Every structure is written in structure tokens, then in C-alpha cells.
């Protein structure tokens, strides 16, 4: 019998604040953190609501000696660093940057700790970059590459960008800062497949532990698309609701409701600790859930949602096969549930293809009306929530201001007891990638 993989630590920074526990509490209480964007004036955009982790700064969660490095962290990186801190604390691990006691040895040798953190396309800080660009404007009022240049004939305007500017925005910097803070020297990867990134990362951690290359992995993802650029890009991609004067985001995002106005963004980092079962048990770790299956697929481009659904259906089937489970064994599903009608229809089509008529009796745990679409942050956050559902034998409250399509258990519901043995977490991404994982109760 091969050694399994278990989830032992949950970390999150979400619009509910810092901590997987803050997220869980918010979900149990049926609150929504989707409100008018506060970090910049959103009144010029069609979509003015989102979820923000107000007051969060990675400064409060890094070793003192590392505080300077926060200056070279884009918000996405900060979210990952904060979530990783939360996960380490929750797992009861000791690491270089977060020892259980002063001078305490790390729980695992650094070489045995891996890190797989999904990331998105990180938008440059507009004020910082534009200040530099403005210094490259010529006498005609036009930006001039010649002035931008730093050599003979140029005005050296590019020199107004901080030397480490590029490093703020490389997607692998989420994992890099986390590995440096916690001295994780094992396999490390950065998967960039939009909403599927987090779950693909969890699957990769599982394989790396199975292959014997690590005993523990930071795994999940983080992204902040609550930026002017994020609103524009996701708006152009048809993902966002025009919110008008609406102030309550939970009234906007209505998963699987053909009348839903669209999705809303929420920044989030979700990172869990995945651990080899034998070493986790040996150290007496609390096991939230077992990670028993992972799969992925790719959706063909098509006008027919049934064809597009093949990608997600392939991912779910592969994850179930990997877990040695049948669809009938699944007691709860945490889907992406974007609130964008065309995407939700495709997702529902994939679920119907796998679960058939029994789908109606499987509760869907939808997070988007509460925290929005976390993009690359979704997978880690949803994995943490799924683990908590199994651990507490409880499903969180479900917000829904409309009516989901028939045959789906996705309407409004209070938090409730549920003896779920196996939970499926799945997501399809802008671009067609799809991923699924299966967690089983410990």
C-alpha cells in the first residue's frame, strides 16, 4: 500500500481577511465581502464591486529581516506570502522563517519541502510605472522610446524604474518568496492557467510527494485582479457584471442562474500544506483530509457548451479514477461557479456528463457570491474550504439572490451538518484548461 497524501494546514488571505478560519467563519455566517472597490476609484468602470482583503499587508507576516523585501512584492505575492504563513502556523510546522520557538529546528529538512503556487498575469502598479513613463515624454507630449533609453541619445527615463522592477511581476516570485522565507528547497513550480492554476498546483504537489521527491508541499495559488488592468482585461473577456449602483455583490453573482449579470473579482491567496501521510502521522499532525485524486483536461473551443464541457469532464473523471472512486461516492462539489452564465452552463454540462441524474442531490458549495472570483487563488481557497467541510462535517451557508438552473443543488441555504466522505473541487479556466481534485475525510 503506497503512502498517501494528506492536508494538514490551511492558509488563506481572502476578502474576509487573514486566515482560513476568518474565511470559514464568513462562509458559515453567510456573509458576502463583495462591496464597492475601495483601493481605487472604480466609477469609470462598468464593474465597481469586488472583494478586497482590506488592511492586509505581508509586512505583518514576514520575519523582521525580510520586511524590506515586501517592497518588491506585487499584491499577488503578498497574498501568497500571507496565506503560506497562515498554513504553516495551522499545520504546526516549524520553518526557518516561522520557527515554533526561537532557534527551533525545522520540522522537515529543507530539501524535503516543495512549493507549488499557481499565479496569474500580474499587472504592473500603474502609478509607479506611469511616473516613469511620464518622464519619457518628449516636447511634443508623446512618449518617446528614444528618451526612455539609457544609452547615448536617450534621456535615461527608464532609470526611473526601480532596478528590481521586473521581479515584482514575474509569476514565479510568489513561490520564490515563500521558498525563501520558509527555506523550502524541494521541487518548486508556478502554474499559470488562470482559474485552474491552484488545483493544477495541488495535483502537482500530490504527484511530487507520490514520486518521493518531497514530504511536504506548500500548494495552492494567489492572485489579485482587483486592479484597473484586471477589471479591463476580465471585462473584455466577458467575465464581469456591470454593477451600476448595486452595493451588495452577493446580489450580483448568481451561480448557474441564466439571468446572472456576470462575475465579480476577489483577491485571494489560498495555500495549504500537503504532506506525506506517514510523516504527517509520525509527527502527530492534525489531518483535515486526504488528497486522494487529481486530474486535468483541456476544453476544445466550440460554440457548443457540451463540446467545451469535455475538458472539465475529462478532469473530473481523471481525478475520480485516480482516487478509485465512482461519481456516486462524491458527497459535495466545490465548483468554480463564476456567475457568468455561459461559463456556468458549460460547468453544469460537465457535471451532468459525469454525475448524470444524481447531480441534483449533490450539494454544490459555491464561494463566488461571498468572495468573488479569485482566479489563480481559487484552487487553494476552495481546497481549504473543502478540507474544512470534511473536517467539521459541515457545509457553509450558500448565498444566491436568484434561481439556479434546474437540477442543481445551488440555491440559497444556511450552513448545515453534512456527513460528506468525499468532496470534489474543480474549475475550468479562461483558455480551456480544467482541473479537479478529490479530498476524502481523514
Partner 1 sequence: MIARPVQTDAARRVVITGTGAVTPLGGDVDSTWAGLLAGRTGFAPITRFDARTFSTCFAAEADIPDLAGVFADPSPHAGAGRNTRFALAAAAQAWRQAGLGDARASADPPSTLDRSRVGIYLGSGEGILDFDTYVRTNLDGWDADARAVDTVRWARAARERMDAVREIEQESNMTLAHVAQAFGAEGPASNCLTACTASTQAIGEAAGLLSRGDADVMIAGGAHTMIHPLGVTGFIRLTALSSRRDAIESASRPFSLDRDGFVMGEGAGMLVLETLAHARARGAEPIAEIVGFGSSADAFRVTDIQPEGLGAQHAMRDALGQAGLDPRAVGDDGRPAVHYISAHGTGTRENDAIETRAVRAVFGDRADAIPMSSVKSMLGHLIAAAGAVEAIVCAKVIQTGVAPPTQNLRTPDPACDLDYVPNEPRDLNPAGGVRVALSNSFGFGGQNNTLILARFEG
Considering the complex, what minimum distance in angstroms separates the CB of residue 342 from partner 1?
15
Mark residues 288-307: x for contact with partner 1 by CB under 8 A, - for none: -------xxxxxxx------
Of 272-291, binders to partner 1 (CB under 8 A) are: none
In the block, which residue shows the cell 507576516?
61
34, 429, 438, 439: which one binds partner 1 (CB under 8 A): 429
Q: Does 172 bind partner 1 (CB under 8 A)?
A: yes
- The dihedrals phi and psi of 437, each to the nearest 5 degrees, come to -135, 160
In the block, which residue shows the cell 467563519?
25
Q: Judge whether 396 and 24 are in contact, CB under 8 Å.
A: yes
| Those residues with Cβ within 8 angstroms of residue 52's Cβ, 6 or more apart along the chain or in another chain | 15, 33, 37, 38, 39, 226, 266, 267
What's the CA gap between 263 and 282, in Å, rounded?
44
C-alpha cell at 380: 487553494
C-alpha cell at 344: 456556468
Of 368-397, binders to partner 1 (CB under 8 A) are: none
51, 186, 198, 404: which one binds partner 1 (CB under 8 A): 186
* CB nearer partner 1, residue 321 or residue 416: 321
What's the CA gap between 55 and 48, in Å, rounded?
19
Q: Does 424 bind partner 1 (CB under 8 A)?
A: no
Q: Is the four-CA dihedral 52, 54, 57, 60 of positive or negative sign?
A: negative
Of 24-63, binders to partner 1 (CB under 8 A) are: 40-45
18, 22, 316, 434: which one binds partner 1 (CB under 8 A): 434
Q: Judge whether 374 and 267 are in contact, CB under 8 Å.
A: yes
C-alpha cell at 274: 500537503
Of 137-166, binders to partner 1 (CB under 8 A) are: 137, 143, 145-154, 158-159, 161-166
Q: Does 121 bind partner 1 (CB under 8 A)?
A: yes
Considering the complex, what minimum distance in angstroms separates the CB of residue 188 from partner 1?
4
Q: Does 436 bind partner 1 (CB under 8 A)?
A: no
Considering the complex, what minimum distance in angstroms separates the CB of residue 23 from partner 1?
26
Considering the complex, what minimum distance in angstroms separates the CB of residue 435 from partner 1?
8
C-alpha cell at 68: 524590506
Task: Output DSSP code: residue 434.
Answer: E
Considering the complex, what minimum distance in angstroms separates the CB of residue 192 from partner 1?
4
* CB nearer partner 1, residue 82 or residue 297: 297
C-alpha cell at 390: 470534511
185, 342, 394, 421: which one binds partner 1 (CB under 8 A): 185
Q: Does 107 bind partner 1 (CB under 8 A)?
A: no
Nearest to 190 by CA among 262, 106, 118, 285: 118
Mark residues 215-244: x for contact with partner 1 by CB under 8 A, - for none: -------------x--xxx--xx-------
Considering the complex, what minimum distance in angstroms separates the CB of residue 156 from partner 1?
9
Q: Judge whether 40 and 50 are in contact, CB under 8 Å.
A: no
Secondary structure (3-state) at 309:
helix
Window of 114-122, 241-249, 284-292, 338-346 that interacts with partner 1 by CB under 8 A: 114-122
Mark residues 197-216: x for contact with partner 1 by CB under 8 A, - for none: ---x---x--x--xxxx---
Greatest extent of the chain over all pairs of C-alpha atoms, in Å:
73
Torsion angle of C-alpha atoms 158, 69, 275, 371, degrees rounded to 10: -70
Interface size with partner 1, residues (CB under 8 A): 97
Window of 83-91, 196-204, 272-280, 339-347 that interacts with partner 1 by CB under 8 A: 196-204
* CB nearer partner 1, residue 22 or residue 200: 200
In the block, which residue shows the cell 472597490?
37
* CB nearer partner 1, residue 17 or residue 110: 110
Task: Output DSSP code: residue 404.
Answer: P
Q: Does 187 bind partner 1 (CB under 8 A)?
A: yes
Q: Does 129 bind partner 1 (CB under 8 A)?
A: yes
What's the CA gap between 383 and 414, in Å, rounded?
21
Of 312-351, binders to partner 1 (CB under 8 A) are: 314, 317-318, 322
C-alpha cell at 164: 528590481
Amino acid at each position: 500500500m503506497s503512502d498517501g497524501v494528506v492536508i494538514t494546514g490551511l492558509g488563506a488571505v481572502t476578502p474576509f481577511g487573514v486566515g482560513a478560519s476568518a474565511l470559514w467563519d464568513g462562509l458559515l455566517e453567510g456573509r458576502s465581502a463583495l462591496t464597492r472597490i475601495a483601493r481605487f476609484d472604480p466609477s469609470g468602470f462598468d464593474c465597481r464591486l469586488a472583494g478586497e482583503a482590506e488592511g492586509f499587508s505581508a509586512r505583518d507576516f514576514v520575519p523582521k529581516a525580510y520586511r524590506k523585501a515586501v517592497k518588491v512584492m506585487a499584491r499577488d505575492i503578498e497574498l501568497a506570502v500571507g496565506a503560506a504563513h497562515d498554513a504553516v502556523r495551522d499545520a504546526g510546522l516549524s520553518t526557518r522563517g516561522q520557527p515554533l520557538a526561537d532557534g527551533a529546528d525545522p520540522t522537515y529538512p529543507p530539501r524535503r519541502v516543495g512549493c507549488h503556487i499557481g499565479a496569474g498575469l500580474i499587472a504592473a502598479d500603474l502609478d509607479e510605472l506611469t511616473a516613469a513613463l511620464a518622464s519619457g515624454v518628449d516636447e511634443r507630449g508623446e512618449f518617446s522610446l528614444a528618451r526612455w533609453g539609457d544609452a547615448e541619445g536617450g534621456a535615461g527615463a527608464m532609470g526611473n524604474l526601480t532596478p528590481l522592477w521586473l521581479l515584482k511581476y514575474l509569476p514565479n516570485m510568489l513561490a520564490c518568496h515563500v521558498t525563501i522565507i520558509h527555506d523550502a528547497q524541494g521541487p518548486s513550480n508556478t502554474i499559470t492557467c488562470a482559474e485552474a492554476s491552484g488545483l493544477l498546483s495541488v495535483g502537482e504537489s500530490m504527484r511530487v510527494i507520490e514520486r518521493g521527491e518531497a514530504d511536504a508541499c506548500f500548494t495552492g495559488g494567489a492572485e489579485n485582479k482587483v486592479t484597473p488592468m484586471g477589471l479591463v482585461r476580465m471585462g473584455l473577456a466577458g467575465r464581469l457584471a456591470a454593477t451600476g449602483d448595486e452595493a451588495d455583490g452577493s446580489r450580483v453573482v448568481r451561480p448557474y442562474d441564466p439571468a446572472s449579470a456576470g462575475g465579480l473579482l476577489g483577491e485571494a491567496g489560498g495555500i495549504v500544506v500537503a504532506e506525506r501521510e506517514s510523516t504527517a502521522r509520525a509527527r502527530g499532525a492534525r489531518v483535515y483530509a486526504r488528497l486522494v485524486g487529481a486530474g486535468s483536461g483541456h476544453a476544445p473551443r466550440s460554440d457548443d457548451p457540451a463540446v467545451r464541457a469535455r475538458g472539465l469532464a475529462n478532469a473530473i473523471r481523471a481525478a475520480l479514477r485516480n482516487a478509485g472512486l465512482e461519481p456516486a461516492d462524491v458527497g459535495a462539489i466545490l465548483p468554480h461557479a463564476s456567475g457568468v452564465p455561459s461559463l456556468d452552463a458549460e460547468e453544469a454540462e460537465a457535471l451532468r456528463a459525469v454525475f448524470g441524474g444524481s447531480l441534483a442531490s449533490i450539494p454544490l458549495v459555491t464561494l463566488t457570491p461571498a468572495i468573488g472570483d479569485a482566479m489563480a487563488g481559487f484552487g487553494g481557497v476552495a481546497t481549504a474550504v473543502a478540507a474544512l467541510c470534511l473536517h467539521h462535517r459541515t457545509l457553509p451557508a450558500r448565498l444566491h439572490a436568484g434561481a439556479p438552473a434546474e437540477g442543481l443543488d445551488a440555491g440559497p441555504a444556511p450552513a448545515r451538518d453534512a456527513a460528506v466522505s468525499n468532496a470534489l473541487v474543480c474549475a475550468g479556466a479562461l483558455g480551456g484548461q480544467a482541473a479537479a481534485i478529490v479530498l476524502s475525510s481523514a
